[in-house]
Amino acid sequence: MPETDATSKQLDICTLPQELFLMILSSLQPPDVIRCRRVCKSWYNVFGNPSNLMPLLKKWYPLAKEVRELREKMIPSHLDLKDEDYYHWQRIFDRVISRYDHLARGQPRSTRVFSLCRDDNSSKWFRVPPWDSHGSHLSGRVDFIFKQAFWTYEDGLLVYPSSVHRSLVLLDLDTDATFVVPFPINNKVIRRVRIQDKLLVIEWAEPNVFHWLNDDDGVHRHFASSFDIRPSDEGWDITFRNEWKIMFLGHPLSDRDRFFSSHNNTHYAIYAWQPNRSLYTADEDAPIESLFVWDISQPSSYRPSLDPTGRQKEDEAGKGPTTVARFGFRDLGFYSVRQRGCPRILKLDINNEAGFE
């Protein structure tokens, strides 16, 4: 006997108990859930219902920005659609699925071109050079692997040097609003910019040599300036937190001298690597290495870049960044993390849960 409309309706997937429907839903690939809405109106309703979608989103992509925000706001998986905007949560689901689908296929969702600042008489951009060779790739150069860019991104926020504003700017990719970072780049050599945990750290150097090591090489004073990034009614507030001198004896501006760093909202770690320039004890396998960890949680108006003698530091005693750990090359050797002439370090990181690693 041919199926009647009533029989067909009884066999429709949309009429299954929610537990069974969710079991079927969870076995689909994420993009297929969205495609199922094209079948008919009833399928559109059940495959687009946020009460069915949000539990899957938390299961599939627990580390996605939107999912983390759901947890922070204590929003339950099963939404009461009488109180929530139906299409708002549906768009959140679709946006996350689309993003990770493009990532899995290695295809961009969109491409935008930005005009970046270039060197001029007032400011320069000299990134920290990458390793020429690395223990993980002994057969050739790996500088392209470790090459760093003068832009940084976190949770929809992009910071980059804009040629239009002649400054570092923060771009909110969700709203397309731009905010100028209150950091003058004139008379500075920018080495690196990085945003992490809504804290922007800019590492930079003075353009003039502070002390000469020999006839060819001189060291420049290097500093780090941090800025808190907080949401506001206008979009984002970018406020200065503190500044610190990142290496006591300075650092040469050369292709041979390197430093790598990391930070979270409260701490900053920096590893410095320099070739041995001694005329008597130079050894390619015995570079000068050090590792410092700073507590940068306390705000301070003191700027060491404006106080070469350090006399004003006494007025700020107990405030601002402080060194909480330091390791020389002997300490690094004791802990078996000294890199020597054939580095193997891949990443320097500060873990919010476990601290420094």
Name the CA dihedral angle for 214, 215, 217, 220, rounded to a multiple of 10 degrees.
Answer: 80
Q: What share of the chain is helix, strand, coil (3-state, %, to 5)?
A: 25, 30, 45
pLDDT, residue 133, reads 76
Q: Which of 34, 33, 41 is nearest to 9 (CA)?
A: 41
Q: State the DSSP code for 42.
A: H
Alpha-carbon 241 to chain mean position = 18
- Domains of the chain (ranges plus CATH)? 5-105 (1.20.1280), 123-356 (no CATH)
pLDDT at 317 over 60: no
Which range has the worst mean pLDDT, 56-65, 201-210, 279-288? 279-288
Phi, psi (deg, nearest 5) at residue 202: -115, 120
- What average pLDDT does this structure show over 268-296? 84
Q: In the chain, what percentage of residues exceed pLDDT 70?
A: 85
Identify whether the C-beta of residue 195 lies closer than 8 Å to the C-beta of residue 150: no
pLDDT at residue 151 tops 70: yes
pLDDT per residue as tens digits for the range 199-248: 999 999 999 998 888 878 889 999 999 999 999 998 999 999 999 999 88
Average model confidence (pLDDT) for the chain?
Answer: 84
User: What is the model's pLDDT at position 256?
Assistant: 87
**Least confident piece of the model among 56-60, 173-177, 343-347:** 343-347
Is the separation of the CB atoms in 179 and 235 below 8 Å?
A: yes
Count of Cβ atoms closer than 10 Å to residue 73 Cβ? 7
The crossing angle, in degrees rounded to 10, of helices 50-60 and 18-26 is: 40
SS3 labels along 74-116:
CCCCCCCCCCCCHHHHHHHHHHHHHHHHHHHHCCCCCCCCCCE
Is it the case that residue 262 has pLDDT exceeding 70?
A: yes
User: Is 80 exceeded by the pLDDT of residue 136?
Assistant: no
pLDDT value of residue 13? 78
Q: How far is CA 46 from CA 14, 35, 181, 251, 357, in A?
A: 6, 12, 45, 61, 46
- Res. 354: pLDDT tops 60: no
Q: Give the pLDDT score at 54.
A: 84
pLDDT at 1 over 50: no
pLDDT higher than 60, residue 251: yes
User: What pLDDT shows up at residue 307?
Assistant: 85
- Per-residue pLDDT tens digits for 93-123: 998 999 898 888 888 888 888 888 887 766 7
Ranking 32-46, 47-61, 112-126, 259-273 by mean pLDDT, the lowest is 112-126
For residues 7 and 147, which has the higher predicted lDDT (pLDDT)? 147
Among 127-141, 157-171, 254-268, which is the least confidently predicted range? 127-141
Determine the 3-state secondary structure of 161 from DSSP: strand
User: What mean pLDDT is predicted for residues 311-337?
Assistant: 83
Confidence check: pLDDT of 55 > 80:
yes
- The DSSP element (H or E) to which 29 belongs, if any, is none
Q: Kindly tell me if the per-residue pLDDT of 192 is higher than 90.
A: yes
At residue 357 the predicted structure's pLDDT band, cuts being 50, 70 and 90, is: very low
Going from the C-alpha of 299 to that of each of 133, 239, 275, the distances in angstroms are 39, 10, 35
Q: Given pLDDT bands bounded at 50, 70 and 90, which one contains residue 140?
A: low
pLDDT at res. 8: 46
Distance between CA atoms of 142 and 131, rounded to whole angstroms? 7
Percent of the chain at pLDDT exceeding 90: 35
Higher pLDDT, 244 or 286: 244
Lowest mean pLDDT among 13-17, 81-85, 241-245: 81-85
pLDDT band at 272; cut points 50, 70, 90: very high
